[in-house]
């Protein structure tokens, strides 16, 4: 009786110890992985930071206007080029004969589009 108990306890201890070590190594591995991820995030952030500075440098207004002039043939816009929608003359539209859709047709279209 006591021998069985001892055996049971020994097995339990072995299993617990193995489980403990397994969890411990798993945690260690995950922590390492986490550290690497954090490091790579920081590296990416630093890269983004540098790229932002470079983006700002490449977007120097003088450089952009020079590029636009040379390659796109663009010039700065002036106020007289801006027209409001209200200022446009009304277009003379010839009303085409559009059949008034029935309720059934509208519902059918709605169903199809779904």
Partner 1 sequence: MNPPDTTFVRTRRPLDLDTGSDPTSMVLLDGTIKQCLEIGRTRLLAAGLVFAMAFLVVGLRLVDVSLLTDGNEPRLAAAPRSNALETIRADIVDRNGVVLATTLPTASLYANPRQVLDPEAVAARLSAALPELPGAELAAKLAAERSFVWLKRKLSPRQQHEVNRLGIPGLYFQHEPDRVYPHGALTAHVIGFAGMDNRGLSGIEQAFEERLRGATRPLALSLDLRVQHVLTEELAAAMATFRAIGAAGLVLDAESGEVVAMASLPSFDPARPGEADDDARFNRASLGVYEMGSVFKIFTTAMALDQGAVGLQDGYDVSQPIRVASYTIRDFKPKNRWLSVPEIFIYSSNIGSVHMAMDSGTPSQKAFLGKLGLTRAAQIEVPEVGQPMVPSPWREINTMTISYGHGLAVSPLQMVSAVAAVVNGGQLVPATLLKRGGGERVVVRRVLSARTSRDMRWLMRLAVQNGTGRLADAPGYLVGGKTGTADKLRGRRYARSARIASFIGAFPMDRPRYVIFAMIDEPKGIESTHGYATGGWVAAPVVRRVIERMGPLLGIQPKALDEEEGADRHLVPVNLKGTVFAAN
List interacting residues with partner 1 (CB under 8 A).
31, 34-35, 38-39, 41-42, 45-46, 49-50, 52-57, 59-62, 65, 76-82, 84, 87
Q: Quick one: 72 or 93, whose CB is closer to partner 1?
A: 72
Instruction: Concatenate the DSSP letters of all residues of 5-50 into one string.
Output: HHHHHHHHHHHHHHHHHHHHHHHHHHHHHHHHHHHHHHHHHHHHHH
Task: Confirm if 75 and 69 have CB atoms less than 8 A apart.
Answer: yes
Smallest separation (angstroms) from partner 1 to the CB of 67 = 14
Residue 75: which residues within 8 A CB-CB, separation 6 or more?
69
Q: Which is nearer to partner 1, 71 or 84 (CB)?
A: 84
CA 51 – CA 27 distance, rounded (Å): 35
Beta carbon nearer to partner 1, 17 or 42? 42
Give least dist CB 85 to partner 1, A. Answer: 11
Distance in Å, CB of 107 to partner 1, minimum? 43
User: Residue 54 Cβ, how far from partner 1 at the closest point, in Å?
Assistant: 8
DSSP 55: H
């Amino acid at each position: 009786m006591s021998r069985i108990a001892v055996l049971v306890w020994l097995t339990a201890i072995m299993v617990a110890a193995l489980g403990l070590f397994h969890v411990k190594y798993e945690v260690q591995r995950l922590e390492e992985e986490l550290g690497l991820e954090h490091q790579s995030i920081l590296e990416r952030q630093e890269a983004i930071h540098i790229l932002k500075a470079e983006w700002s440098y490449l977007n120097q207004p003088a450089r952009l206007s020079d590029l636009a002039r040379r390659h796109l043939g663009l010039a700065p816009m002036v106020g007289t080029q801006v027209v409001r929608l209200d200022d446009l003359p009304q277009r003379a539209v010839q009303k085409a004969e559009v059949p008034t859709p029935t309720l059934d047709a509208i519902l059918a279209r709605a169903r199809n589009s779904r």
